[in-house]
Structure 1
Amino acid sequence: MSAGDIRQRHPDGNSNLDEDVVSETKHERKTSGRWIGPFFTALVVSIIAMAVGFILMPSPVESEEFILPDPPELSGPYEPNDILKYAERLYSGKLQGPESIVVDGDHIYVGTADGWVNDIYKGEVRKLVRFGKEPCGGIENENTCGRPLGMRMDKNGFLIVADGYFGLFQVNVVTGDYVQLFSSSTSVNGKQVKLVNDLDFGSDGKIYFTHSSSKWNRNQFPMIFLEGVPNGRLLVYDPETKVVSELMDGLLFANGVQLTKDKSAVLVVETLKARVWRYDIKTRKAFIWTDNMPGFPDNIRYSKSTGTYWVGMAIIRQKGSSLIDVLAPKKWLRGQLAKVMTIKTILSFIKMFSTSGTTAMAVELNENGTAIRSIQDKTGEVIERVSEVESSNGVFYFGSFDGNYLGRLYTKRIPGFNNKNT
């Protein structure tokens, strides 16, 4: 037997075993690796199928395109400033979402997200009245609990409240008793009255009020933007006939309401168009009073001492950084987002992807709708958002639809601030 034969033979008598082992190992590796290609193919097919299925899934909205002009530069009356850092927070943690404010002597009335109208007196927060019922707490319970939004004190000392879900109410602020003036379950001109928002009084006692949508409730309000269908309205309630009539239609998120100084016209905020309309009561004609504001306006309030108007900016706009501006003309994309967006997620998205030179802002307008100046908090350190400004004897009170405090600012504390304009 040659040396070559010895090298090729295994002690147990099996030849070429090493070659067999190597061959089997290669075969096993080849066999075991065959699943990788089919797996990734199946994964890609599944992802594509899910994406197609998602796209083909019906959207809860029938989106329409709407166009916004480029936001104005933050200059001139909108020049960034930190005036609101001179403000202070009151009742932190005791008021969730005090959107609208009524100052009546030593009493301050605010409506909050837990459904209550609160009476703040001598530093104490007292729950006055709630129009809904338990369960309360959390936006998912607002349908049953209610959400007080716009509020005003009438000439007879009754607090008139617009509840986003239930309608208009007259409240006795001493006893907490109330009367429902208008139920939002009542259709007007054949259209539903969803998200009753703000109100003001005419010289004859009529109540002018807005509702933001004919389709979506307050806890669905992102859908108003994602759909982009302008079906908010200005309505009027006649206390003598108890009849509600339509004055304006076709508003994209009708919001704040304010009668002019002479009570001849109604100023109506159209939030998602970043503008304010003026509706002439006598002629029943409307025109845009101020347009292309530096934010999406919320409530508007008149300052008696100067004859000017303060408008709170719910969200700030700035060119290239306003998510709402970017998505406005993209109806298909908004329709897709409506399938997954909730009120919490869309507010988070707006905050995450919208940046500007300021965080909180309120704008002062003259009787012609021209901006005079603004007061801001660039970082939101003190005031994070402004839904309404109530001006009373040199003091500003600031409401917010999602804050947990009431803002207060004494104008005399502001260096160089002209107190005559407050």
Structure 2
Amino acid sequence: MAFKIILKNSGLFFLGCLIATALEIIFFSPISPDLIELPLASSSVSVSPPNNQLQRVTKLGEGFLKGPEDVAVDENGILYTATRDGWIRKMHRNGSWENWKKQQSQGLLGITTAKGGGLIVCDSEKGLLKFTEDGVTVLASHFHGSEIRFADDVIEASDGSIYFTVASTKFSFHNWYFDLLEAKPHGQLLKYDPSMEETSIVLDGLYFANGVALSKDEDYLVVCETFRFRCLKYWLKGESKGETEIFIENLPAAPDNINLAPDGSFWIALIQVIYEGTEFVHTSKVLKQIIANFPKLVNYINGATKRAAVINVGANGNILKRLDDPNGTVMSFVTSALEFDDHLYLGFLIAITLQIIFFSPISPDLLQLPVVSSVPVSPPNNQLQRVTKLGQGLLIGPEDVAVDENGILYTATRDGWIRRLHRNGSWENWKNLQSQGLLGITTAKGGGLFVCDSDKGLLKLTEDGITILASHFDGSEIRFADDVIESSDGSIYFSVASTKFKRHNWYLDLLEAKPHGQLLKYDPPTDQTSIVLDGLYFANGVALSKDEDFLVVCETSRFRCLKYWLKGETKGETEIFIDNLPAGPDNINLAPDGSFWIALVQIFYEGREFVHTSKALKHVIANFPELVKYVIGPTKSAAVINVGANGNILKRFGDPNGTVMSFVTSALEFQDHLYLGSLNTDFVGKLPLK
């Protein structure tokens, strides 16, 4: 009997608890929910299926940043982001990060650069702020007598007006999921007028007002309603001024931040606010109230935060592109996407890094790969394996060779030495230039040696010392002097491989595949340097014809050599001397019979040519230099060709596997022998031609 009484009383107790819990859930719930309108398959635009494009990002500030929700870039290319620890951090163009300003807040969200300098920030806890070098100013913390509870995103117009969203007027940032569950229009779009220091309403009754962006002409703005899976267009000018219409709806996920792209389209970050299979929760008010009372349940129904997606939407509301990481392998919960200088910057709340897609020091074009040579080419052979090794063990990467009228051979090595080989076979350490960038050399008519120092410019060496002939041109430093030749009238022609990249970053010029090279002329009597050819693709070797009526300059990354006429009816004109070469031409030297010897270097591995047809892959490699060795140039191969004055290939010598010679960069004929320089050997090769 006692057991039955206890059981009965226990049952009443549990029943009472259940009733009390039910009453609390229904009558004391923090939300008063409506049912959410779930998106349909997009009917207005075609959407490409998910892909893995966002897995190819490069990570910036990894481990240094905590949940960078949004990003902004100023006119100087400095990148800003606001993190969960209250820091405004900025990344300078040289890649260094700076802790710029500290705000005692965990709720820094949308940011934008200010027209007059500084940064405008939405602090979900304190309102609309402006950061400058002098400090922090609160622009708007209240509206209509009430605290701005959840400032979210911001944009500044050209007239100085600042538009910013308030995600919810009822719930704070920390309780954002209540707004999702309640599914009522608590959001606003506000306008702050700096001249009047007043805030006014633009749009009210928005469903979690999030990202905001102005159109290119500022005739309308777009505001994202996250929990309605749509964006609205609000007209600022024209006949429709003050009217609102749908910009895009039925999105495959909820829109977060939105940013204007340079071409007038928009980048929108999409976030998952509903797990697949849990949509039924949002069709039941009772379930919503239960979840609101047990916040731990939110993790099971709201937001697959391990996904990432961004879309590019045209000004007409059509989706143009889609980039994804469906499983969050690299990127997750992307909240913003900003395009600047051909790069897409991505911020996200969940991860601890800021990532940028294809961020790199280059702005690449696609490389025009060679087709089969239009002139007959003998198949590869092993002729270069027959060389005699001169100065083996003494020389470090002798890139070029020259021989004077007395038969003395000169070469420049990576340790800064100009060394020469006398007729009796003895080597002499002649001059040391304290440089690792000595490249092309040629003997001077009046004695001495001209040297291209990629670090210092065009030099002349004599027994008396060293003279810098040209270190600057048109007010800019000569960054990458490469090869040189002197004409009979004393004019000195020399190539500049790149006006953008230095020797240490030569591979960036190759990856960028843009014409940064030059051919310059130095006139000793006037001590002046002038331009001969501009817009060359990695200008390398240069040589004069036997009669000096034209010169030939090699464009390494275009697999061709150009002919520039110095005399005759075509003086000043340029034409192709030879193209579609089987590898990139390096140095070129005139042979005694009027033909030319050209060293060929491999600038891509067979089977990996696709890298040079993809801008995205080029960006990735530029950010990870250690990848260069896997895609650019098998340096263990060697090849030289002999080309007639008419541009036809006459001979070809090789060492395909680099058994003896590798990465040959120059070939000079003297007294029936071919002298070979290489950046990859410790000797000069000597090959008999007869």
- Judge same fold: TM > 0.5, yes or no: yes
Match of 2:437 in 1: 147
Q: In structure 1, which of residues 276, 282, 293 is the aligned counterpart of residue 581 of structure 2?
A: 293
Aligned with 1:409: secondary structure? strand
Query: Is 1:187 aligned to 2:187, yes or no?
Result: no
Q: 2:684 aligns with which of 406, 411, 416?
A: 406
Corresponding position: 1:47 with 2:333: no
> Per residue, is there more strand in 1 or in 2?
2
Residue 165 (structure 2) pairs with residue 165 (structure 1): no
Q: 1:124 and 1:47 mapped to 2: Cα distance? A: 59
The aligned residue for residue 126 of structure 1 is 428
Secondary structure of 1:328 counterpart? helix
Amino acid at match of 2:473: S
In the alignment, which residue of structure 2 is the partner of 1:236? 521
- How far residue 359 of structure 1 moved from its aligned partner, in angstroms, is 2.7
Aligned length: 349
Match of 1:346 among 613, 628, 639: 628
Q: 1:78 aligns with which of 348, 358, 378?
A: 378
Matches for 1:300-311 after TM superposition, within 5 Å: 300-304=588-592, 306-311=593-598
Partners of 2:441 and 2:449 within 8 A in 1:
yes
Structure with the larger RCO, 1 or 2 (CA within 8 Å, 6+ apart)? 1
Determine the C-alpha separation between the residues in 2 that align with 1:322 and 1:265: 37
Name the structure 1 match of 2:659. 381
C-alpha separation between the residues in 1 aligned to 2:387 and 2:458? 32
Q: Which residue of 1 aligns with 2:482?
A: 197
Whole-angstrom CA distance in 1 between matches of 2:333 and 2:362: 20
What whole-Å deviation, never above 9, does each CA across 1:53-76 have from its counterpart, x for those lacking one? Answer: 544363111112232232449x94
Q: 1:197 to 1:50 in 2, by over 3 A?
A: farther
CA distance in 1, matches of 2:603, 2:511: 18
Q: Give distance in 2, aligned partners of 1:220 and 1:251.
A: 17
Aligned residue number for residue 187 of structure 2: none
The residue aligned with 1:29 is none
Task: Give the alignment's Cα RMSD to 1 decimal.
Answer: 3.0
Shift in alpha-carbon separation, 1:63–1:57, aligned structure 2, 3 A: closer
Q: More helix per residue: 1 or 2? A: 1
Q: Distance in 1 between matches of 2:486 and 2:330?
A: 57
TM-score under structure 1 length normalisation: 0.75
- 8 Å Cα contact 1:92/1:406 also seen in 2: yes
Percent identity for Structure 1 against Structure 2: 29
Residue in structure 2 matched with residue 366 of structure 1 by the alignment: 644
CA distance 1:123–1:346, shift in 2 (3 Å):
farther
SS of alignment partner, residue 452 of structure 2: strand
- Give 1:295 deviation, angstroms: 0.9
* Residues 604 and 631 in structure 2, CA contact (< 8 A), matched pair in contact too: no
Query: What residue ranges of structure 1 are gaps of 5+ in the alignment?
Result: 1-39, 133-144, 413-422
Question: Helix, strand or coil: the match of 2:681?
Answer: coil
Match of 1:47, SS?
Answer: coil
Partners of 1:349 and 1:326 in 2: CA distance: 10
Shift of 1:197: 0.3
Larger radius of gyration: 2
Query: 1:212-291 alignment to 2 at 5 Å?
Result: 212-282=497-567, 283-291=571-579
**Residue of 386, 397, 402 corresponding to 1:97:** 397
1:302 touches 1:309 (CA, 8 Å); kept in 2? Answer: yes
**TM-score normalised according to structure 2 size:** 0.47
Residue 669 (structure 2) pairs with residue 394 (structure 1): no
Q: Whole-Å Cα distance in 2 between the matches of residues 384 and 315 of structure 1? A: 11
Shift of 1:191: 5.3
Letter in 1 for 2:676: F
**Residue 617 of structure 2 corresponds to residue 313 of structure 1:** no
1:48 is aligned with what amino acid? Answer: M
Match of 1:327 among 604, 611, 624: 611
2:632 partner amino acid: I
